[in-house]
Chains A and B, each alone.
Chain A
């Protein structure tokens, strides 16, 4: 099968005929990844660069922070091994009843599925695909990010309280990128809570309708020590980090993704202590950022992560 055919098939399978919104995806995908510059040499387009940086950050997220697949996958496998070993012992001793064995085998089976599901989620999260718009339930994106982080939350015994609004309108955006933002914000909260020793670490995640029409909002609040004063003004700058094992581009990337979607993100110290991150997104993102652009401004990536958003409130890509 030729390369061309492969990409066509994947395009076909992605399109949902019942959902015309997905047609946006074409404009996204058709953005050339490499454009020849004046010398005729291929240079990377700003979008492609941003896209790569996004992907890079997701990879970084997944490899660090204890999310090493090998560790996480061991949790469900471990439970499964215990259940099956119990069954083996009962069968060896000829001391069992059918319903018990059935129950334990079912549980073991579920655990193996849980392991497979974790692999699937991680693979999808770190997959390198062009940004594409789709219609989604915003809460589902939240739950997907939470599912990825569950082992980490459990390990640090953090109580994550979800308060999801049932009446959110359907949201249009790049699902993986949105999950990346939610993931980043949650990771930040987790890191805040694991720097020291807190007896009852709690993260409260709320989704609700935005104040402005056709917007929705996400709020993540922790009960940690808050952001240091000298760090506070620089949190959205890339490579600003107090941690040794991450790049420090999480919030910068999150901000650029939010802007692409026409929304905004803020991270502040809460009056009651801890950090509160607020994300506001329009239900329909501006169309420009997802269209091809002729700009060859290589500073665009930096642009996206700095405060130089255009006055009109449109995205940095316009």
Chain B
């Protein structure tokens, strides 16, 4: 069941060549309260290259061979912002390892076990939410940072590098008072509570990645 504290609209994308499987999967997830969109082919995925206001997770049948579809392959590698769950009728270890290393959330053998399916779907949507939050945070920071003057930007970089106001003043050949003024202004423009907060918001961590399962065990 989708979590009640979800921030964004959630949507599961289903990419499945077999009409009956696609239909039945969409219906099954529907009974568990998920919204689904069935995609016709890999090309239809292009629309979902960038996650915006919706938390997406893609369920895709990857066939039985690793080289089934290069486009899909590339898509999974190139689009870390869209969590992917790989499904296959072949419960082949090599295939599972290959897709997991590529960065898929899960590899599910078919026929699907409902518990595993739900777990994978929830993990995928959670990851998508995290990615959305990460992007929003970043975008918000960039919006605030765009209001900084070139001089303030310079000072910001130096503060983050750990220089004191007097060091900065010496470096930029300004008075300590002027540097302090720049500091106060940029802190307020970036809505930072202090230097630590400032450093944290400027150094973004990497994009959230699928959790390894042993870290995820309760």
Contacts and interface: CB of A to CB of B under 8 A. Distances in A.
Contact of A81 (B41, B42, B65, B112): B112
B171 interface: no
A71 B20 contact: no
A197 B18 contact: no
Contacts of A157: 17, 41-42, 69
Interface in A187-217: 197, 199
A231 interface: no
A72 B112 CA distance: 15
Nearest to B114: A85
Given A66-B65, A81-B112, A157-B41, A75 B24 contact: no
Given A66-B64, A197-B71, A79 B32 contact: no
Interface in B80-111: 89-90, 110-111
A155 B41 CA distance: 12
Interface in B162-208: none
Interface in B1-41: 17-18, 20-21, 23-25, 27-28, 30-32, 41
B215 interface: no
B41 A197 contact: no
Contacts of A80: 24, 111
Given A66-B65, A155-B64, A157-B41, A82 B21 contact: yes
Interface in B50-84: 63-65, 68-71
B21 A78 contact: yes
Contact of A83 (B17, B28, B64, B110): B28
B112 A74 contact: no
B89 A74 contact: yes
Contact of A75 (B18, B31, B112, B114): B18
B69 A74 contact: no
Nearest to B87: A78
Given A83-B27, A86-B27, A157-B41, A78 B32 contact: no
Contacts of B21: 75, 78-79, 82
Contacts of A197: 69-71
A196 to B, nearest CB: 9
Contacts of B89: 71-72, 74-75, 78
A108 B21 CA distance: 10
Nearest to A74: B89
B27 A104 contact: yes
Contacts, number: 80
Most chain A CB inside 10 Å of its own CB: which residue of B20, B32, B64, B90: B20
Contacts of A71: 64, 89-90
Nearest to B26: A82
Nearest to A72: B89
A104 B32 CA distance: 15
Nearest to A151: B18
A155 B27 contact: no
Contacts of A90: 31
Nearest to B63: A155
Contacts of B32: 89
Interface of B: 17-18, 20-21, 23-25, 27-28, 30-32, 41-42, 63-65, 68-71, 89-90, 110-112, 114
22 contacts: A71-B89, A74-B89, A75-B18, A77-B110, A77-B111, A78-B24, A78-B89, A78-B110, A78-B112, A79-B18, A79-B24, A82-B25, A82-B28, A82-B111, A85-B28, A86-B31, A93-B31, A104-B27, A107-B24, A155-B17, A155-B63, A197-B70
Given A77-B111, A154-B18, 18 more contacts: A72-B89, A75-B21, A75-B110, A77-B110, A78-B112, A79-B18, A81-B111, A81-B112, A82-B24, A82-B111, A86-B27, A86-B30, A104-B27, A108-B24, A154-B17, A156-B63, A157-B17, A199-B71
Cβ-closest 6 pairs across A and B: A82-B24, A74-B89, A81-B111, A79-B20, A78-B110, A78-B111
Interface of A: 66, 71-72, 74-83, 85-86, 89-90, 93, 104, 107-108, 111, 114, 154-157, 197, 199
